[in-house]
Chains A and B, each alone.
Chain A
Amino acid sequence: MPDERSVPDERAVPDASTVPDELLARARAAHTAAPPLGDPAYDRYCAALAGQLLAHWPQITAANATDVEEAGRAGMPPTLVDRIRLTDAHRDGMVALAERTRRELATVTDVEVPVSGAARAVHRVPRPLGLVMMVYEARPTVTVDGALLPVAVGNAVLLRGGKETAATNAALQRALHDALTDAGLPPGLVTVLDDPHRRLLRALLKRPDQVDVLIPRGSPALVDYCRTSAIPLIASGGGANHLYVHHSADLGLAARVTLDSKLPEPAGCTSVETVLVDRAVAAPYVEALAQELKEADATLTVRTEPGTTIPVSPGLRAEPLAPHDLGREFLGPVVALVAVDGVAEALEHVRAHGSGHTEGVLADDADVVEAFRRRVDAAMVVVNGSLRLHDGPTLGLGSEIAIATGRLHVRGPVTLASLVTYGYVTDAAGALRG
C-alpha cells in the first residue's frame, strides 16, 4: 500500500521536469508584467510589506509555533530550534529593514556618463537582474530579506528555505503576496518553494536558461553545492580573516579592535580568526589584550606558537596552535596568534590563508598601511578599525542581503545597487554613424 514512505525518489517521478517549467513560467511572467525599476509601485511595496508583516504577525507566529513544535518533536537540538523561532525582535527588525529599503530606493538611479563621441548623451540605466533564486537554511527572516531587497529593484524571486520552516514561510508568503497586491505588483514576483524532497532545488539549479542569479545563504556545504550550478552566483565564501598588528600600531587600539572584531559575534563571517603581530611587539600586544579583557570582564582563547609568553590573567586563555588552525574559522571566542617579521611576511600569510573576505591592518606607519591597502585582495580591507565594520548599514553603504566574496559583479555588501545590472541609453538626437 502506498504511504508517505513509499513516495518514490525525485528522479523517478515521471513528470519531475514539468513542475519547474510551470513554476519558472509563472515567475518570469510576473517579472515581465512588473513595472520598470524606479516605479512608485516599489516604494508602495516596501511600505505595504512593513504593514502586512504587522497585520499578519499573529498568523505568522502561530505558524512559527507549529514549526518550532515539529522541530522539537523531531528531536532537533536547541541550537537549530532557536534558529527557527521568530520573536517580536525579528518582527521589528524586518519592519525596520522594509522602511530602510524604501528610503534607499532612490540610490538606484540613472547616471549620466560623460562622453565626447558621436552621442550627445549617454545614460547608464539600472536594470533588474531578472529571476533571482535564494537558497537558505532554517532562519525564516531570510524569506523576508529575499522578498524585499531583490523585488524592490524589480527582480522576481524564488525562495527556497529549509523544510523545517515550511509553515512559517507559507504564512510569510501570504503577507508578502498581500503586500505585492496592495502595491499593485504581480504576486508572482515572490514564490516561496515548497520543496521537502529537494527535487525542485536540483531541477532549478539546472536551469541557467531561466534563473538569472543564485544567492545561497547557509552552511558551506550548501554554498559549495550551489557552486556546481552553471547559474551565476552571488555568495560569501566565509571569512578566514586576519588582523595585522604592525610595530607602529597603537597597541591599546589593537587590543580593542581585536576584541571588537571577535567577541560580539564570534561565529560571524567578519570576525577575526588570526592575529599576525610583529614579533617585536608581540609581548606588549598580548599584555594590552589581557588588560582590555580584564576591563571588559570578557574571555578570549588565544592559540599560540611554542615560545610565546602569555601572561597569567583572568579572561585570557592560552592553547597551543595546531597547523590546521591557520586559515580556519574558529566559530567561537578563539583567535590564532602568529608572530611575523614585518609587513611582507604578514602579506604572504594573508595570501596563503585568507579567504578574501575581510582583512585588517593596525599601523601608524603610512607605508605599511599603503602596502596593505594596495596588495591585499579582499572584499574589504579595514585600516585601524574593527573588522566588524564590514557591514552595509554600518558603513552607510545601504542594507545588505549578503556579503559577497566572488570575483565578479559584486564584492562586499550586496546592497540594492548590487541587485541590478545595467544597460546604456543614448539620446542620439538624430545622429548617424555614417
Chain B
Amino acid sequence: MPPNLSLDRAAVATVVKKTVVAESRLSIAPESVSEDEPLVGDLLHVNSLGFVGMLVRIEDELDAALPDNLFVGRSFRTVGDLIDVVTTAEATR
C-alpha cells in the first residue's frame, strides 16, 4: 500500500478556492474568497453534482489521489469545511 501523503493546508486552500470559483462560474480572484464563504450562497454555487469533477481537478492539481467516498455522506457548509476535509483525507501519491 502506498504511503499516506501529508497535504499542506495552504496548498489545499489555494486549489480548493480556485476550484470552487471555477465551479461557480465566477470570474473573480480565488484568493478573494474567504474560508467562511458558504458553498451555496450569494457568491458561490457549489452543489453535490459538481463534486466528482472537483475531486478529479483537486487531485490533479495536488498530484495526489483522494478516497473515492471523500465527499459522500458529508455535509459541507463553507469553503473552509471543504479545505479541512481534503487536508485531513488519507491521500496517497
Contacts and interface: CB of A to CB of B under 8 A. Distances in A.
A137 B48 contact: no
A80 B23 contact: no
A97 to B, nearest CB: 22
Interface residues of B, number: 33
Contacts of B45: 329-331
Nearest to A225: B57
B72 to A, nearest CB: 5
A11 B65 contact: yes
A433 interface: no
Nearest to B91: A9
Interface in B44-74: 45, 47-50, 52-57, 59-60, 65, 68-69, 72-74
B73 A221 contact: no
A329 B50 CA distance: 15
Contacts, number: 100
B93 A11 contact: yes
Contacts of B60: 225, 228
A225 B53 contact: yes
Contacts of A219: 23, 49-50, 52-54
A196 interface: yes
A72 to B, nearest CB: 11
Nearest to B28: A324
A75 B72 contact: yes
B89 interface: no
A221 B50 contact: yes
B65 A9 contact: yes
Interface in A312-335: 322, 324, 327-331
A62 interface: no
Contacts of B10: none
Interface in B7-53: 19, 22-28, 42-43, 45, 47-50, 52-53
Nearest to A6: B1
B92 interface: yes
The 3 closest A-B pairs by CB, nearest first: A222-B53, A75-B73, A219-B50
Interface of A: 6, 8-12, 74-77, 79-80, 83, 137-138, 162-163, 196-198, 201, 218-225, 228, 238, 240, 322, 324, 327-331, 353
Given A74-B72, A322-B42, 10 more contacts: A79-B49, A201-B56, A220-B23, A221-B57, A222-B52, A222-B53, A224-B22, A225-B53, A228-B60, A328-B26
Interface of B: 1-2, 19, 22-28, 42-43, 45, 47-50, 52-57, 59-60, 65, 68-69, 72-74, 92-93
25 contacts: A8-B92, A9-B65, A9-B92, A11-B93, A80-B48, A137-B52, A162-B52, A198-B56, A218-B53, A219-B52, A219-B54, A220-B25, A221-B19, A221-B53, A221-B57, A222-B50, A222-B53, A222-B57, A224-B22, A224-B53, A225-B60, A238-B25, A324-B28, A327-B27, A330-B45
